[in-house]
Amino acid sequence: MKYLFLDQTNFSLILFPNFKNMLLQDLNHKIIDCTHCQLSVTRKHAVIGQGNSASNMMLIGQSPGKVEDESNRLFVGPSGHIFDKLLAFTGITRDDIYLTNLIKCILPKSRRPSHNEIKECTYYLDREIEIVNPRFIVPLGFHSTRYILGKYGLEKPDKHNFHKLFGKPICLKGLIIYPLRHPTALFFNSSKEDIMKINYSYLNILLKNRN
């Protein structure tokens, strides 16, 4: 039988729990100074991941908005207001989860991220996932969900059928991917509020049943 070796990061994380925060700090310094794509020219801040790095659950938004870019904090603008309302409904707080974005810098005029921007920036998200090592990955919205499906080699539905994924947990070995609609979906379609509240409420159940 072949040996299955732990990689160096995972071995260090077992030996030294504080090593996780050291690795994240180091990564965050790289993000803050990053100029790997043209979004570095128009941003005020590259907004880093926040929350509980020891959590089993990582939520992944798309990118900072105007208020996030100015304040250097995640989900504090209009979408953050909705996000907090949805979280309050679930009964969990930001301290229960680790929160980050697919793209760390603001997208001018709220445009979609380009293929190249996703390719350049997801080095950081991949590293965050490796360090935080969550059991539950919760991508919010189309772009984050599409990236996470691709990362784990899962089939990506076409654009018209994509919404069918939201609220449906996908089980992989040792990992559950639980795609949810992005909070901003409620700006465009308030009729989704009830289903989104139900879908978000399962975050609490997943966290409680972590074993």
Smallest gap, in angstroms, from Cβ of residue 71 to ligand SF4? Answer: 17
SS (H, E, C) 103-124: CCCCCHHHCCCCHHHHHHHHHH
**One residue of 13, 23, 27, 39 binding ligand SF4 per CB under 6 A:** 39
Find tokens 């005020």 and name the residue.
44
46 versus 86: smaller Cβ distance to ligand SF4: 46
**One residue of 12, 28, 40, 114 binding ligand SF4 per CB under 6 A:** 40
Q: Is 9 exposed, middle or buried (0-12, 13-18, 19+ CB in 10 A)?
A: middle
φ and ψ of 57, to 5 deg:
-125, 125
121 versus 207: smaller Cβ distance to ligand SF4: 121
Smallest gap, in angstroms, from Cβ of residue 161 to ligand SF4? Answer: 29
Q: Contact between 37 and ligand SF4 (CB under 6 A)? A: yes
Scanning 33-41, 133-141, 164-172, 185-193 for contacts with ligand SF4 by CB under 6 A, the matching segment is: 33-41
49 versus 77: smaller Cβ distance to ligand SF4: 49
114/123 Cα distance (integer angstroms): 15
**Nearest C-alpha neighbor of 127 from the set 151, 162, 156, 163:** 151
Exposure class string for 137-158: b at 16+ Cβ within 10 A, else e:
bbbbbbbbbbbbbeeeeeeeee
For ligand SF4 (CB under 6 A), the number of binding residues is: 14
Smallest gap, in angstroms, from Cβ of residue 54 to ligand SF4? Answer: 24
Scanning 39-47, 76-84, 126-134, 193-201 for contacts with ligand SF4 by CB under 6 A, the matching segment is: 39-47
Scanning 32-40, 79-87, 89-97, 143-151 for contacts with ligand SF4 by CB under 6 A, the matching segment is: 32-40
**Nearest C-alpha neighbor of 178 from the set 209, 203, 197, 147:** 203
Q: First CA to last CA across the chain, in angstroms? A: 28
Scanning residues 116 to 155, which ones bind ligand SF4 (CB under 6 A)?
Answer: 117, 120-121
Longest dimension (CA), the chain: 55
Scanning residues 91 to 120, which ones bind ligand SF4 (CB under 6 A)?
Answer: 103-105, 117, 120
What is the separation of C-alpha 183 from the centre of its chain, rounded to a whole number of angstroms?
13
Smallest gap, in angstroms, from Cβ of residue 36 to ligand SF4? Answer: 4
Site residues, ligand SF4 (CB under 6 A): 31, 34-37, 39-40, 46, 103-105, 117, 120-121
